[in-house]
Structure 1
Amino acid sequence: MDNQAFEMHGESVQSSSKGEEWPKKEERKGSWSLMKVFLVCLLACIITTTIGVLALSLVYVKNTAFMKETGVTDDGAASPKPDEKSVDIKYQFLNHLGKSKVHNYPGGEIQWARFRKNVNEYQSDEEMEFGKSINKHGSKMTFGTLRIKSKGLRAPHWHFNANEHGYLLQGTAWIGVIGADDSVVTTYNVTAGQVIFFPRNTVHWVKNVGSEDCVFLLFFTTHEELQTLDVDDAFFSTPEDIAARALKPQGGVNFIRTFKKQVEDQAINLPPNLNELVQNATYVQSPDKLVWQYFYNLKGSAKYPFPGGIFQWARYRINGTGLNETEKIFSESLNKHENTLTLATLRIFSNGLGQPHFHFNANEMGYVISGCGQAGVILSGVTANFNIGIGDVIFFPVGTQHYIKSLCDEDLLLILAYNTGNQLETLRMNDYFHGTADHILAQLFWKEQAEFKKFPTPAKKSGK
């Protein structure tokens, strides 16, 4: 019979007194068929088991990768990603500006401590940590340094989303500001140690009129990316016929077509043939009542001493105490415009201390001009202490306690900005410590009440 099933069930082993007989051909065939079936089943089991093991392995690997990606351990607890770089928490409050990208132009250069939407534009993880921090805390501040070569020009421009406050660290410059509606043009000259102010959307320019480079320390009232438009970019982006109808030049649209856009960005302009282009330049100073809306002589202003150093302020004062008539114009201008800044220079004497304090109504940002020191900041659940030196930018969110200490033989000098156009509100550690009842402090610190008499009553200060 050829039916294997039949052969499997019908096979038998015959025995006789003569011993075992050699199986017949049909019986041998049936036995071999049974073996093949067994081997096929065994092979199928092995393949199935192997596939199952591989599938489980893949699931485990994927699950492990997911757990690593999300930072979750097997027991469900959060853990750091093993491949994620750890950035020191101090960089939320510290930016080494000297390590940032230098944006070069024919007439100078710019460097930034700011927030970027595109993370690839940061030069380092530390720089990104600072940018994210000032954005997360709603700082309403961005910082930059502007260097203009002799005879160089920061092209006329305006900012869509920020007021601009600047401190001239070095050089001499001629400033122009064009106001809204009545198009009043205000021009004035500034020298080192003085402050400039450009309200949002006012067209303004800065021309270096000295023999050395001008260096400006600039604060902008936004924690988003700064939005700026240069006059030359606006001109070349306007259709020729529209520009001709608006400007009405001799020669009409044909004259407009003679303007050629430069290949590279001319944000800070210095043509090689400048002497051929400009035959006569005058640097007019507008009347004080116009100039002092946008200008403040910080280096010539009143000094406010404290035990560790000296403050000088460019700020709004409610009652105008200590301000002369022109300074009052600036004070009122700051308060009139929305989202303006208070500026100050802080000089801390060698080994002096700007004691721990916090501000009720402003974030604070600063730039180290000279000297070296240490800064510290305390947020809820976060404490950072770090060294600072020339070119560093620091940031203290509103309400956070912070201090600055001088560590060098020379004085520590900073330019500081606070994001308020109102009078700055500050509380110092010695004020709130002494203002708290002794019996409350005794209970808080587990210390006898009489011991708190050892702290002297703080003297009234006119500074920070």
Structure 2
Amino acid sequence: MDNQAFEMHGERIQSPSKGKEWPRKEERKGNWSLMKIFLVCLLACVITTAIGVLVLSLVYTSTTGIVKEVSMKDDGASSTKPDEKSVDVKFQFLNHLTKSKVFNFAGGEIQWARFRNDVNEYENDEEMEFGKSINNHRSSMTFGTLRIKSKGLRVPHWHFNANEHGYLQQGTAWIGVIGADDSTVTTYNVTAGQVIFFPRNTVHWIKNVGTEDCLFLLFFTTHEELQTLDVDDAFFSTPEDIAARALKPRGGVNFIRTFKKQVEDQAVNLPPNLDELVKSADYVQSPDHLVWQYFYNLKGSREYHFPGGIFQWARYRRNSTGLNETEKIFSESLNKHENTLTLATLRIFSNQLGQPHFHFNANEMGYVISGCGQAGVITSSGAVSSFNIGIGDVIFFPVGTQHYLKSICDEDLLLILAYSTGDQLETLRMTDYFHATADHILAQIFFKEQDEFQKFPKSKK
């Protein structure tokens, strides 16, 4: 019987040895082509899979690196990577200024406790925590120390985004302030314990006219990076022909071209050949009605005693009763300008307490001048942070945050404090709100009999 299948698939070749049939040449070729296609596809799949795994690995590594390096908050401020070592919460309220970078100049030096846009400019994680804190709380406060050598000059300059309030801790200085519109120049002398004030965008300078270093403790009304321009930088940034036409010197633009910009920053200036450059100098003081807009004799002001210490204030007061005429000028000047500060010195006697309190209308920042103490803060979440403070430390208490200060050594604790208000400071102490709460309310929340609350003595105002 004929094999129809054989006829359909064509002739087969018999193996001479075993009698087996072998595929024809064309069929072997077709089977090998299918095998090659299968191998190519398999290879392509392996290569594609490998590439995919490699890409995913690179993306993961890159993303992880970015997260580790910096994470961005909604307000645009950068923060530390989440897997970094945690920073003690106390550094939201404490800055060890003595550990910060010293900016050295020919005539002195500057140190900062401030927020920085570039996180790489912080010296350490603790400093960054403080900078982020004052920025996140919109504190309107930055602190710095300015040291000026004898005959040194903080060159004329102005701040675009902040008023400046300063306290002279040491030395003797001559101050110049150039007012707006009529360009009235006010000059005055300050000694240790006195306060200076420069409104935003007001050109001012400070010259050390004593034999010892001047040390200024400075507060600025911004939580952003301070924006400052020195007069010499403004001069050299102005085209020569424009400067010549504006200043009209003899010799015109050729004279302007004789000015040479110094290689190093002249922020605190002290030329080595100063005696050759300056033949005569006077340090006159302007009339009181001008001076007291920018000056306050804090050291000579009234002392306000409380159990455990003394306050002295450079501030605005709604009720000017008791202020002399010059003090009234300063009080009104603070209130007239926008976003000014209240300054005070606080002395807490040895081993005494500045009791827990908070401020309704101001953040508080302070610098420890002498002594040693302890600060305590209760945050809005109820968390408690207490830490020791010493000379050169900067502290910060956000508005509404209850806090206390106490002296913990044999020496008085002395601080210069600034509050972010040019209005009258509003404060509530623990004794005030505790005694102002009805006994039956206290009994209910503390689970104690009402009569027991008579054991708390009421303080006298």
What interval of TM-score do these two structures reach, taking the shorter chain for normalisation? 0.7 to 0.9
2-structure distance, mates of 1:94, 1:297: 28
Q: Structure 1, residues 241-262: CA drift from partner, whole Å, max 9, x if none?
A: 2222222222222222211111
1-structure distance, mates of 2:64, 2:179: 58
Corresponding position of 1:113: 113
Q: Structure 1 pair 23/375, CA: closer, same or farther in 2 (3 Å)?
A: farther
Instruction: Tell me the CA shift for residue 83 of structure 1.
Output: 3.3
Name the amino acid aligned to 2:393: D
Corresponding position of 1:342: 342
Corresponding position of 1:259: 259
Name the amino acid aligned to 1:425: E
2:93–2:130: 8 Å Cα contact kept in structure 1? yes
1-structure distance, mates of 2:81, 2:176: 52
Corresponding position of 1:291: 291
2-structure distance, mates of 1:62, 1:441: 62
Q: Structure 1 pair 42/383, CA: closer, same or farther in 2 (3 Å)?
A: farther
1-structure distance, mates of 2:187, 2:264: 28
Q: Structure 1 pair 301/11, CA: closer, same or farther in 2 (3 Å)?
A: farther
Q: Structure 1, residues 170-213: CA drift from partner, whole Å, max 9, x if none?
A: 00000011111111111111000000011111111100000000
Corresponding position of 1:171: 171
Corresponding residue SS for 1:302: coil
Gaps of 5+ in 1: 1-5, 13-20, 72-79
Corresponding position of 2:71: none
Name the amino acid aligned to 1:411: D
Corresponding position of 2:72: none
User: Number of paired residues?
Assistant: 441
Instruction: Tell me the CA shift for residue 374 of structure 1.
Output: 1.1
Corresponding residue SS for 2:253: helix
1:68–1:82: 8 Å Cα contact kept in structure 2? no
Q: Are 1:148 and 2:148 an aligned pair?
A: yes
2-structure distance, mates of 1:361, 1:335: 14
Name the amino acid aligned to 1:396: F
Percent identity between matched residues is 78
Gaps of 5+ in 2: 1-7, 69-79
Name the amino acid aligned to 1:427: L
Corresponding position of 1:75: none
Corresponding residue SS for 2:414: strand
Q: Structure 1, residues 123-174: CA drift from partner, whole Å, max 9, x if none?
A: 1121111111111111111100000000000001111111110000000000
Name the amino acid aligned to 1:325: E
Q: Structure 1, residues 422-454: CA drift from partner, whole Å, max 9, x if none?
A: 110000011101111111111112222111111
1:152–1:270: 8 Å Cα contact kept in structure 2? yes
Corresponding position of 2:426: 425
Name the amino acid aligned to 2:436: G
2-structure distance, mates of 1:351, 1:123: 33
1-structure distance, mates of 2:214, 2:243: 33
Q: Structure 1 pair 259/42, CA: closer, same or farther in 2 (3 Å)?
A: closer
> What TM-score does the superposition give when structure 1 sets the normalisation length?
0.86
Q: Structure 1, residues 339-370: CA drift from partner, whole Å, max 9, x if none?
A: 11000001111111111100001010000111
Q: Structure 1, residues 369-414: CA drift from partner, whole Å, max 9, x if none?
A: 1111111112211432111111111111111111111111111110
Corresponding residue SS for 1:298: coil
Instruction: Tell me the CA shift for residue 332 of structure 1.
Output: 0.9
Name the amino acid aligned to 2:98: G
Q: Are 1:353 and 2:335 an aligned pair?
A: no
Query: What value does the CA root-mean-square deviation take over the aligned residues?
Result: 3.2
> What TM-score does the superposition give when structure 2 sets the normalisation length?
0.86
Corresponding residue SS for 1:290: helix
2:166–2:196: 8 Å Cα contact kept in structure 1? yes
2:146–2:218: 8 Å Cα contact kept in structure 1? yes
Corresponding position of 1:316: 316
Corresponding position of 1:77: none
Q: Are 1:159 and 2:159 an aligned pair?
A: yes
Corresponding position of 1:238: 238
1:111–1:145: 8 Å Cα contact kept in structure 2? yes
Q: Structure 1 pair 248/376, CA: closer, same or farther in 2 (3 Å)?
A: same
1:356-395 equivalent positions in 2, closer than 5 A: 356-381=356-381, 382-395=383-396
1:68–1:81: 8 Å Cα contact kept in structure 2? no
Q: Which region of structure 1 is more displaced relative to structure 2, 262-271 or 375-384?
A: 375-384
Q: Structure 1, residues 61-108: CA drift from partner, whole Å, max 9, x if none?
A: 68987799879xxxxxxxx97732311111111111111111111100
